[in-house]
Amino acid sequence: MTAATSTAIRVRGLRKAYAGVPAVDGLDLDVAHGEVFALLGPNGAGKTTTVEILEGYRGRDAGEVAVLGADPARSGPAWRARIGIVLQSSAGLDEISVQELVQHFAGYFPDPRDPDEVIAAVGLEAKRATRARQLSGGQRRRLDVALGILGNPELLFLDEPTTGFDPEARRDFWALISSLAGGGTTIILTTHYLDEAEHLADRVGVIAAGRIVALDTPDRLGGRDQDQAIVRWTEDGRPRTERTATPTALIARLAARLGGEVPGLAVTRPTLEDVYLRLIGQPAETLEVVS
């Protein structure tokens, strides 16, 4: 299989500026067919601009972009029918019921999923006859997702898909996305919920100042798998903290020194959030290092 056919998305040297200020500054990216890829980054990092270029909704200043083998800037309705998009927010058609809305949009696609199946998949069966304006925020988000997956897309863009979901609804949505990925759908996910990225994504890319600054699996991003553990305990009435590559040995020494039990003992390793904040330049936690 060639690089062109093995990748759903291929980007080289992507650039986009607004009023002379770079938003995307030489970005390179490959996403494989069937991969769930999470793109993380702070506001203003170039994440939204990059995704909009991939979706074909925004032009670029320079660089090469291929999405499902075609240039989004020059692709027509047949290409667009192969992708699904769940925007961060949507409006309009508020007086139409869920059932009517999903059935209506199904007519736009050459090979749509069954509307009843889609409504059930996003958990809106009990709201079939409800008008869109009467849905709660989380229910409206589910409707957005339903419209995004209705066309049975090869590639699905999810922009903050679980905003407004309660914890149970988020877990149900994660199961839906895992099911789509299991069926071969390529998924591009942008989210501020790092636990969501960790649960769903095969790989994570962190964008800052218009460039990808880290790219790896969630458990290895930014050298996370090699980071030292953080051991916390209480001694002489004071909280103590130490970073170490050998936490078991440290705990053994503490136990010997403190008579067997180590008060307040906790051992943690950097979370995906810790690594993400470090990569985008947020200040790291200050720890008291005990020799």
**Per-residue model confidence as pLDDT tens digits over 253-272:** 999 999 999 999 999 988 89
Q: What pLDDT score was predicted for residue 199?
A: 94
- Residues 204 and 208: their CA atoms lie apart, in Å, by 13
From the list 46, 59, 73, the residue with the least C-alpha distance to 190 is: 46
Say what the pLDDT of residue 289 is.
Answer: 35
Decide: pTM greater than 0.75. yes
Is the four-CA dihedral 92, 84, 59, 214 of positive or negative sign?
positive
**Structure tokens of 58?**
């925004």
Residue 250 has what pLDDT? Answer: 95
Long-range contacts of 72-79 (CB under 8 A, 24+ apart): none
Chain mean position to CA 281: 20
Residues of the chain falling short of pLDDT 50: 1-3, 283-291
Please report, for residues 120, 172, 245, 267, the alpha-carbon distance to residue 166 in angstroms, rounded to integers and kept in the order given. Answer: 18, 10, 38, 30
Q: Is 236 exposed, middle or buried (0-12, 13-18, 19+ CB in 10 A)?
A: exposed
Query: Is there a contact between 224 and 270 (Cβ–Cβ < 8 Å)?
Result: yes
Q: Strands, DSSP E only, in 121-219?
A: 155-159, 186-190, 203-208, 211-216
Q: How far apart are CA 19 and CA 289, in angstroms?
A: 47
**What is the pLDDT at residue 285?**
46
Residue that has been written with the tokens 């083998």 in this structure: 69
pLDDT at 166: 78
